[in-house]
Structure 1
Amino acid sequence: MTDLNGKVALITGAGQGVGQGIALAMASAGADIVATGRTLAKVEATARLVAQRGGRAIPLVCDVKNADDLKAVVDAATQAFGGIDVLVNNAQEVPLGLLEDVTDEAFLNGFLSGPLASLRLMKLVKPIMATRGGGTIFNFASSAGIRWDMAFYGAYGAVKQATRALTRAAASEWGRAGIRVLTIAPHAESPGLKGWIENNPTEAEAFFKTIPLGRIGRLEEDIGRAIVALCGPDMGYLTGATVPLDGGQANFD
């Protein structure tokens, strides 16, 4: 596994699901973890799991839609660990539904918690990473943005495609500072996906048939460890790309 000793990772939405899986994988690789989320008890649980592996983590409450919260967690991270080397923009509210049913509030919250929150955090950590010789930023998208049938996923896809555009721009603008920016498009055993499978068994059965590997990704082993690997020097020439961790389902070409 890639050695992340001496690195600091700030992860939003780290109290459960994909964010927690990434936090545990990074901690196992030696990184110090700044685990943020809306529920203190959940990020405290993640911090305890990190400590059980011999790692260090600080749990912080953060609503990614709140600009003051974002600045506060970046300040806390630099105070606790001296800087930030990896940013994982995982937290996101998802606006799902037919276009005529998606409210303005849901659509705006999707953008506030997704591309705007990601952009705000990217801008906050950019000078910190630059002074440390570079860093890696991960934004999150979804194959929902490139479905052949966009019905029900239009608002969600719009949010995620905006995030991909920001990744490309940041990779272009910040590469000379040693900062790589990647978009991750995962399928993982998150609480949200599990709930969707339980509530939509027929659609879920059809969904599984479209995944060549025939299963959903494991949070730590498949998603977290892949992101750890992407932080390493062997992947140091990769930036601006969308990396699908989805068992071969989506075609982002």
Structure 2
Amino acid sequence: MDNYFDLTGKVAVITGASSGLGADAALAYAKAGADVALLARRVEKLDAVKSEIEKTGRKVISVVCDVTEEESVKTAIDTVLNAFGHIDILLNNAGVAVRGGVDSMTVEEWDKSFDTNVKGIFLASKYVIPQMKERGYGKVINIASVNAIIADKFDMFIRHSYNSSKAAVVGLTRGMAASYARYGITVNAIGPALFESEMTSSTLFKSEEFLTKYNTMNPAGRPGNRGELNGTVLYLSSDASSYVQGQFIIVDGGGALV
């Protein structure tokens, strides 16, 4: 039987690859046979992830990139194309979670969410999609959030700009999927729930009250563990999902069901 999850010969680009779910996904790509380009802002963090991937024997480069700045993204994608010649997979993972409700947030805080979570996907896709269209093949995976469809009523965890920007990611995914399917490009989104990462370990995971409530409400009774998102990422990045288009797959232990 064919190994539909084999990524040998593929080139994967991951934004927000310096830590957390992005770093985990990058290593999973390498273990599946792909060569990897790591994009993020922090050089020292990127280099640490790069060292781990080098141990797999796959080719890997790290490129400093701010997904909110067009010239930075364009330069980064040009660097990847010069190094590998093509891009097969784009994992739009860079994101931020800004706390606050519409009655208390500043315009700058609101814009920060949309600049990173939505504009960042637009810019990376803008410079990757054209060569995918030319080659007639591509896999684009956008990391949204279960918070695109559910929200938290507890005051200390209200994140209105996060909710709305992640919902926008789902809408953008559907639009891109419909437009680019004819070119052999699949575009799908993933909606993780709570996973421990650099972004959540200093906030959500430090609140015993929040974790108790989360675990009580979630059918799985716990947050996601490191690596539990990788299967969905690999599925949507491989030929196993060749006829899957414009979907929003929630990985949340069943939390959205209740």
TM over 0.5: yes
Are residues 198 and 127 of structure 1, via their aligned partners in 2, closer, same or farther at CA, if it must alter by over 3 Å? closer
Partner of 1:172: 178
Query: Does structure 1 retain, via aligned residues, the 8 Å contact 2:97–2:159?
Result: no
Which residue in 1 is equivalent to 2:57? 54
Alignment correspondent of 1:89: 92
Identity percentage of aligned residues? 33
TM-score by length of 1: 0.93
Which runs of 5 or more residues in structure 2 are unaligned?
A: none
Task: Tell me what 2:247 maps to.
Answer: 241
Structure 1 residue 142: Cα displacement: 1.4
In the alignment, structure 1 residue 194 sits paired with structure 2 residue 201: yes
Name the residue aligned to 1:34: 37
The alignment status of 1:99 with 2:99, answered yes or no, reads no
User: What is the distance in 1 between the residues matched to 2:187 and 2:234?
Assistant: 14
Partner residue of 1:185? 191
- Matched with 1:18 is 21
**CA-to-partner distance for each residue in 1:156-182, whole Å, 9 max, x for gaps?**
111111111100000000000011111
Summarize the Cα distance change of 1:148–1:17 in structure 2 as closer, same or farther, 3 Å threshold.
Answer: closer
**8 A Cα contact 1:138 1:181, kept in partner:** yes
SS where residue 110 of structure 1 aligns? Answer: helix
Structure 1: gaps spanning 5 or more residues: none
Structural mapping, 1:84-233, within 5 Å: 84-147=87-150, 149=152, 152-187=158-193, 188-220=195-227, 222-233=228-239
Cα distance change of structure 1 residues 112 and 148 upon mapping to structure 2, 3 Å threshold: closer
Runs ≥4 residues deviating over 4 A: 148-151
Give the match's secondary structure for 1:129. helix
Comparing 193-202 with 34-43, which one deviates more in the overlay? 193-202
Structure 1 residue 6 corresponds to structure 2 residue 9: yes
Work out which of the residue numbers 80, 96, 100 in structure 2 matches 1:77. 80
CA RMSD of aligned residues (A): 1.7
TM-score normalised according to structure 2 size: 0.92
Q: Distance in 1 between matches of 2:44 and 2:152?
A: 39
Q: CA deviation at 1:88?
A: 0.8
How far does the alpha carbon of each residue in 1:211-236 deviate from its partner, in whole angstroms, 9 at most, with x for none? 2223322333x112321122222211
Aligned residues: 251
Contact 2:144 2:191 (8 Å CA) reproduced: yes
- Matched AA of 1:135: G
Structure 1 position 149, deviation (Å): 4.7
